[in-house]
Chain A
Amino acid sequence: GDSVTQMEGPVTLSEEAFLTINCTYTATGYPSLFWYVQYPGEGLQLLLKATKADDKGSNKGFEATYRKETTSFHLEKGSVQVSDSAVYFCALLFNTGGFKTIFGAGTRLFVKA
């Protein structure tokens, strides 16, 4: 079945470091791919998305490219800030007669000043 696998956390970085959070998926068909962010005590917020192969989603300095050949959607940011500390979820949306989202397990990011 369809699934999403993302790297385990926590990931701890110093401010201004480069961030990569890996995400790979298995899916039949052509799903849309998403990254959501959850700040402490809050609900999920959509960070970025890509709907087809080779699309790049970007927002707030974060980027992810839909790679069909490697079935990946890795999240990157060139210079993280303390305020980026949160849990990041990779997700896959597929249509089975209605849209359904599958989430990865989440990766917690700590950014130190």
Chain B
Amino acid sequence: GAVVSQHPSWVICKSGTSVKIECRSLDFQATTMFWYRQFPKQSLMLMATSNEGSKATYEQGVEKDKFLINHASLTLSTLTVTSAHPEDSSFYNCSAERAEAADTQYFGPGTRLTVL
């Protein structure tokens, strides 16, 4: 159990367009989901924490108007990269935690975004 999926797994887009990435908990309800960014050969950097039905909490230095996060249900959170530019190219990872085990995160497989 505790499977998290992300869609798409890889997306290539033109500069200036917006891209939506979905994160779903397939077999459990996720009260909290996290979005991370991972540059090549580097660690994961937390971008924001989203709780179902409320506004996301963004980490310092992350532009909330550029990285829109919506957590509309207990199984789905979306990250929209608005007006993407080449410097937004990265690996985006989400994780989810269960209400009954808040100290364990389950990660999705990640989404590779390439902005041309």
Contacts and interface: CB of A to CB of B under 8 A. Distances in A.
Nearest to A99: B102
Interface in B17-48: 32, 34, 41-44, 46
Interface in A62-98: 89, 93, 98
A105 B41 CA distance: 8
B103 interface: yes
A17 to B, nearest CB: 23
Nearest to A87: B41
27 contacts: A32-B103, A42-B109, A43-B6, A43-B93, A43-B108, A43-B109, A43-B110, A44-B44, A44-B93, A44-B95, A45-B107, A46-B104, A49-B103, A49-B104, A51-B103, A93-B103, A93-B105, A98-B49, A99-B32, A99-B97, A99-B102, A99-B103, A101-B105, A105-B42, A106-B41, A106-B43, A108-B41
Interface of A: 32, 36, 42-46, 49, 51, 89, 93, 98-106, 108
Interface of B: 6, 32, 34, 41-44, 46, 49, 57, 93, 95, 97, 102-110
Given A99-B32, A101-B105, 7 more contacts: A32-B103, A45-B107, A46-B104, A93-B105, A98-B49, A99-B102, A106-B42
A101 B34 contact: yes
Contacts of A104: 43
A101 B32 CA distance: 13
Contacts of A49: 103-104
B91 to A, nearest CB: 9
B24 to A, nearest CB: 13
